A and B are shown apart, each in its own frame.
Chain A
Amino acid sequence: MSQIVEPHKTEDLVEVQHLVKYFPVRAGLMQRVVNWVKAVDDVSFTVQKGETLGMVGESGCGKTTIGRSMLRLVEPTSGSVHYDGKDVLKLRGGDLKDVRRHMQIIFQDPYASLDPRVPIGESVMEGLHIHNIGTRQERYDLMIDTLKKVGLEDYHARRYPHEFSGGQRQRIGIARALALRPNFIICDEPVSALDVSIQSQVLNILKDLQKEFGLTYLFIAHNLSVVEHISDRVAVMYLGKMVELATRDDLYKEALHPYTKALMTAIPIPDPKLKRKREVLKGDVPSPLNPPKGCRFHPRCPIAEKICSEQEPEFREAKPMHWVACWMVK
């Protein structure tokens, strides 16, 4: 299994600081902004070179928005994203293109992420063409090589997306991200659209590639078992905020935040005799249109006290390499 990242010894590859993304809600004749969806509200974290940072949370908690903001697929409202020392959010034109060569994304839905009218070989090769890498022949060879890395064959190159299964398409998506030999790949729920037997296949490919190319992943998912399998560190999101960030073993053994604890007891254990206490959260996730005052989790929190509904808890390092945002954690 993957090694535990030793504290403070590794280099930060990506540094996200105070990232905020509000989506305007418009209404009326003049399309006036009447409200803001606070999708991501002041999130900071770093991704270290060579690690996999897992990111979990319920639907609508802002995981995908963070991933897309980092690549400027949506423009963040404020904050900064540094890749290798450069502020990605301030780059323009050619510089942005250069950085994009090193940062890629794998999408959730393998059926929507490939252009149905383009043979997959060309999809994979497009990036090489755009970045003027090598001659035509070299690009072709590199494309075939990349396809083989994800377990496809050279004769697949001229086929169209609809001729492939879901798992194969997801591997083509990986090949497309990999073709430029990036350092950092955002995996936006790459396996949640696949069935279980294919999931492990794709996860293992991602692990193999990480070993071979020294890749760094931001792995977004809502499946805790998948995240446990692949991550070195895990971040937990709730309603646009990061509530806990720790190494995988720390988090899965002794989670500090009550939300994380509740999530952990929801992981199914394949043992029918094992009885355990499950913490079932009351109610629903509040609307990100007007999140609760104070700690955003307090209306559902089993241990909330007065302060939780009044002041927002700080995201602090409660134990070495273990950050948490909760008033009740000492």
Chain B
Amino acid sequence: MSKRRFSSGWTALHIYGAAFLIFLYAPLALITVYSFNSNALNMAVWTGFTFDWYRTLFGMQPAGAAFDAAFTENPDRIFGVLRNSLIVALSASAISTVIGTATALATARYDFVGKRIYQALLFMPMIMPDIVLGIALLIFFVGVGFKLSLATIIIGHCTFLSSYVYIIVAARLAGMDNTLEVASADLGAGPVTTFRRVTLPLIMPGVIGGFLLAFIISLDDVVITYFIAGVDTQTLPLFILAMVRRGIRPQINALAVLLIMFSFVVASAGLYFRSRRN
């Protein structure tokens, strides 16, 4: 009886999950369709099918006759800003994942003076409005003589990304008892071995979740990045924001589709190798 109840609930869950995925993918489907739209003026009006936006991204000549330089961007520039974005997002999310995880372990596994203060403090970079943190960091960096560069963007991102990682990992650690770790220590394993062999595998889903979230946030950050970016360190979101007055260029749709495809390939490879190893 309880099984039957469970299975009807399971069907409902399947439908719900599918609807959720449609919600997530509807905008992407639209972007993909419009990335083949030949209308250079306005991506919202369909005028015909073209590969031109992909072609121009890769520096090839567009095939369409009615091609206007006013509506396209230099591909070197697009790849330049994409490169900046990826460097920042990868470094900042990796660093924050290490720092945030370490902090979560400290607050979950140790009692120390000022623990409450740390816990409250960790919320604050997330609460501080972006523009306030951005301007404050700008004043600080320039005041102490840091040259604005990709490094300042990375540091700036770490200040708030660490908090996000911390919260996710701490949620994973909460209520998880430490008997396994104690057992490992009792069996003579050092703290590093215990961490590597026992704790890390246990919290891995949280760590990966934290890293992914940090990566996504860093890749999309506009406001803080704006203020602490130096000459020629524009990132993709800043680049796109600057073009919205005339509407987003069709090439950007093509780039978004390529980015998703790229993430898809990388992650599928990862999944494939993991399943082979198991």
Chain B binds chain A: no
On A, residues with C-beta under 8 Å from B are none
